[in-house]
Amino acid sequence: MGLTSQELTDKIAELADGKLAEDIVALDMRDLVTYTDFLVIATARNERMADGIAEEIHIRLKKEDSLLPVNPDRSGDVGWTVMDYLDCVVHIFTAEARERFDLEELWHEAPRVELKLDPAPSQSTTAA
């Protein structure tokens, strides 16, 4: 049995978080559109990091869940990567592109999904 759309959304958010994506948001689109259940939006510090996040999601979902995105689009020249897993569409932005395209404002009526991501590890600065 495969992942539910909610489980897929949670897993994608966790994978992105594990690759140091920032400001991860999931939007519940089920009452708004018919083409997907959820959007996951994340920010990468730069294009290289965005590629790493997308690659981790791609490899892990393929290996662990036999899932492949439909028509993935890595538009590095605009700072936006889209991965469509049907039940969940992933958007990975650079900070500038996320601000420019502002999907959260576009879909402001979509409820945010509470994600259970691990908090950032505390940074210890004690000298030895």
Domain 5-113, architecture per CATH: 2-Layer Sandwich (3.30)
Q: What is the pLDDT of residues 78-114, one digit of tens each?
A: 899 999 999 999 999 999 999 999 999 999 999 999 9
CA–CA separation, 99 vs 92, rounded Å? 12
Q: What is the pLDDT of residues 60-82, one digit of tens each?
A: 999 999 999 997 776 666 899 99
The confidence band for 116, taking pLDDT boundaries of 50, 70 and 90, is confident
Distance, in Å, from the CA atom of 9 to the CA atom of 115, rounded to the nearest integer, reads 9
The CA-based diameter of the chain, rounded to the nearest angstrom, is 57
**How does pLDDT run across 24-57, given as a tens digit for each residue?**
999 999 999 999 999 999 999 999 999 999 999 9
For residue 123, with 0-12 CB atoms within 10 Å meaning exposed, 13-18 middle and 19 or more buried, which class applies? exposed
Entry pTM = 0.88
DSSP 1-67: ----HHHHHHHHHHHHHHTT-EEEEEEE-TTT-SS-SEEEEEEESSHHHHHHHHHHHHHHHHHHH--
pLDDT(124) > 80:
no
